[in-house]
Amino acid sequence: MSITPAMLLIVDDDPLVRKLLTVLLEDQGYRTLTASSGEEALEIVEQQPPDLILLDIMMPGMDGYEVARLLKSDKSLANIPIIMLSALGEHSARISGLEAGAEDFLNKPVESAELWLRVRNLLRLKAFGDYLKSHSLVLEEQLQQRTIDLERFRLAMDASSDAIFLVNRKSMRLIEFNRRASQVMGYTAEELMNKSPAELSDESIEQLELMYDQIIAGSGPSDPTETRIHCKDGSYIPVEVHREAYKAGDEWIIVGIARDISLRKETDQRLLKMAHYDTLTGLPNRNLFFTTLQMGLTQALLSHWQLAVVTVDLDGFNNVNETWGHLMGDQMLTELGLRLAGCLNVSDTLGRMDGDEFALILMIRQGQANPLQTVERIREKLREPFELGAHSTAMTASIGIALYPSDGSDAHALIKHANTAMHRAKKKGRDTYCFYTAQMNEEVSARQAMETALRDAVKQQAFELFYQPKISLADGRVCGLEALLRWPRPGQANVSPTVFVPMLESLGLITLVGEWVITQVCRQIAEWQRSGQQLCQVAVNVAGEQIIEGDLIATMQQALIEHQIDPHWLEIELTEGSLMENTAHTIASLKTLRQMGVKVSIDDFGTGYSSLAYLRRFAIDKLKIDIAFIREVTSNPQDAAIAKTIIELAHSLNLQVIAEGVETPEQLAFLTANGCDQAQGYLFSRPLPIRELEEFLRQRR
């Protein structure tokens, strides 16, 4: 197979769509061509046939259906796979696309992970088809020759990495196979020669005879079929089998080429699990829970049952994270998932929606008790203390309940109403539950109140900055600080940044607040400089909107000049996701900042779009290993391998590495042993207000 990257043709009349798809696909290593119309696409294909086409349906002039039909009618171009793109969600649009000859279909806006998987799989099938076609031509030529040189034929088959079988249709016995077939299945050549094809596969002899006759008649499957082959030790191997029929004198020979797809199956299964299950608890995530609820509602409708959606949210869970660290918080959530699962009946479903919020689907058959019985079991289970290392604590939860059909007939409404009831329960005093009623508007009111308060806080600049020290693992000194935004809401408990920062983004206020943070940090550095305080680098988190919508460079320059500080005392941290927003502008901005002397770091590395391509393209100085890999770095070999690889990768590119969320001496020992440069986390210090920080620095020195 060629090692040249595949060439993909993107056909869409929208230049923004063409640009987005080009970025997504080229960053995966593919080459791309673009066309803005069907006519232009046909000209490009005639001059330079691509390996795959992404084809928009709705275009002026020649639409996608007509382009697909023309391509598929040309034998020389018919093997090029086509993925139809459409903003139309109707089933009819998908059917029309497939009828026109498209192999696959994607809805706009395209989700990157799904796009990559579909493109990869279709290119793999095309490559396999081309490979089979070349194999078939060789085999046909050899089988049609009555004076075939059997030893040369065996050598050709043995050179293949796929298992190849030749079956005589009349006798239904193997007449030849290659060395790979014997190796894969564990049989000696003599043992394998005595086997019938039915003994080696999931199909019966009758099913195989029917399939072989259809292939001989030209009506059999043209694409590879998935099945399993049976090994000598009793195990099974999933394979894709392509079969062709060849006439040899008066006999028909069926040639089967079986490709092992075990690795692909495992990869697809892992991707499926990642897409539908929560990585921490192993429970269904929000998407799978929603799908399961839709299915449950259909069953309830047909069976005339009731159904309850119950949302469970821990009271005061943020205190666990802030007091004992995220490692203990994750341990509590895992234990909570196990306890909730123990409260369910066989037909019920449990999922993790977000953070410390879980949700249940309770199927209530006729004559069964209402969901209160389950709710009371949950409350009792929660009162049993959680053992978190050396700590023991009991927890309570606020629980909301919405019933089908009285509180809603669709999944969206029931989840929303259960959440409304849960927030009502939390407002009532926690450790309680509420059923939904139509009069409940507290959730909406609370959201509106918080938005109003947040707008006022932005106007009044009513925020604070806490600082978390970074420690050099080479000598144990404080080598830097990370500035973290806090909002002391008047008359209310402190609002978590995970709550108000996304709200700032949704309200379009994050750029204003980000400018305030940069100015405050520069003012603080200048104050330390005037007082003779030993300076260290301070990192500021920057949102993608600050680069795209704001003028980050001008803000930095103004703050540095106004407070007369050297740029190298300032560092910006961006997430991998924000790097992908308006990429060309981002690259130019980062280069300018580095030329000014400001350091650049990638935050939460390994959880987003991370790849060598990005590390080469963006001007960066440091990588920050995400806390998700640090939590179990001493107990999970995969996390340990990922952390070690990130460190080695960064050092090979002359980048420094910071580990966040370090909470145990064992984690610190691992990072030190593997050459990590810096670390921060509760093992050293929680985020501190300025006075406590200065005291910490004095004691540290």
pLDDT digits (tens, 9 = 90+) for 579-617: 776 677 888 888 888 899 999 998 877 665 545 556 677
Q: Which CATH class is domain 7-110?
A: alpha beta
pLDDT tops 60 at residue 154 = no
Query: Average of pLDDT values for 362-379?
Result: 81
Q: What value, to the nearest 5°, has the Cα angle with vertex 173 and ends 167 and 174?
A: 55
CATH assignment, 277-440 = 3.30.70.270
Residue with the bigger pLDDT between 77 and 576: it is 77
690 band by pLDDT with thresholds 50, 70 and 90: very high
Instruction: State residue 136's pLDDT score.
Output: 62
Query: Which structure tokens are listed for 199?
Result: 């003994």
Read off the pLDDT of residues 518-544 as tens digits, 9 standing for 90 and up.
999 999 999 999 998 888 999 999 988
Q: Is 433 helix (H, G, I), strand (E, B) or coil?
A: strand
If you count DSSP H runs as helices and E runs as strands, how many of each does the chain have, helices first? 27, 25
Read off the pLDDT of residues 122-145 as tens digits, 9 standing for 90 and up.
888 777 777 766 666 666 665 555
Instruction: State residue 141's pLDDT score.
Output: 62
Which CATH number is 449-700's, of 3.20.20.450, 2.60.120.260, 3.30.565.10, 1.10.3720.10?
Answer: 3.20.20.450
Domain edges within the chain: 7-110, 131-264, 277-440, 449-700
Query: Average of pLDDT values for 304-321?
Result: 89
579 touches 602 (CB < 8 A): yes
Whether 449-700 and 7-110 are alike in CATH topology: the answer is no
Query: Which structure tokens are listed for 153?
Result: 């034929």
Q: Which residues contact 613 (CB under 8 A, 6 or more apart)?
A: 27, 29
Query: Average of pLDDT values for 33-58?
Result: 92
**Residue 141 φ then ψ, to 5°:** -60, -40
In percent, the amount of the chain with pLDDT more than 90 equals 34
Instruction: State residue 367's pLDDT score.
Output: 65
Read off the pLDDT of residues 225-251 as tens digits, 9 standing for 90 and up.
888 888 888 888 888 888 888 887 788
Read off the pLDDT of residues 381-400 as tens digits, 9 standing for 90 and up.
888 888 887 788 888 899 99
Q: Which residues contact 558 (CB under 8 A, 6 or more apart)?
A: none
Give 466-507 as a 3 state SS string: EEEEEEECCCCCEEEEEEEEEECCCCCCCECHHHHHHHHHHC
438 band by pLDDT with thresholds 50, 70 and 90: low
**Mean residue pLDDT across the chain:** 85
Helices (H), 100-228: 112-144, 150-158, 179-185, 189-193, 205-217
Read off the pLDDT of residues 246-280 as tens digits, 9 standing for 90 and up.
887 788 888 888 888 888 877 777 776 677 788 88
Instruction: State residue 433's pLDDT score.
Output: 87
CATH assignment, 131-264 = 3.30.450.20
422 band by pLDDT with thresholds 50, 70 and 90: very high
Instruction: State residue 440's pLDDT score.
Output: 47
Query: Average of pLDDT values for 387-416?
Result: 88
* 99-113, 245-259, 433-447: least confidently modelled range: 433-447
Residue with the bigger pLDDT between 674 and 169: it is 674
424 touches 434 (CB < 8 A): yes
- Whole-Å CA distances, 468 to 358, 607, 681: 31, 22, 8
